[in-house]
Amino acid sequence: MNKAAAAETGTLLFQTAWSGRAEIGLAGNDDFSIKVSGNGADWLTALTISSRGT
């Protein structure tokens, strides 16, 4: 997977009935994250690993 720019998204999206429930990857920045949603609209970031190493 390759993004054209840091602000782009490169993720793996898991869905139920075409509604997002979990997302893993680089979502709009270069930090690796795992996000979850109970309704497909409101997202909670469960884990973030900074790309800046701090």
pLDDT per position as a tens digit, 8-47? 999 999 999 999 999 999 999 999 999 999 999 999 999 9
pLDDT of 1 reads: 84
Q: Which residue would you say has higher pLDDT here, 42 or 53? A: 42
Contact 43, 23 (CB under 8 A): yes
CA-based angle 14:30:20, to the nearest 5?
15
Angstrom CA distances, 13 to 19, 21, 25, 38, stand at 10, 8, 9, 14
Q: Distance (Å, rounded) from C-alpha 34 to C-alpha 20?
A: 13
Per-residue confidence at 54, pLDDT binned at 50, 70, 90? low
pTM (2 d.p.): 0.82
DSSP state letter for 40 = S
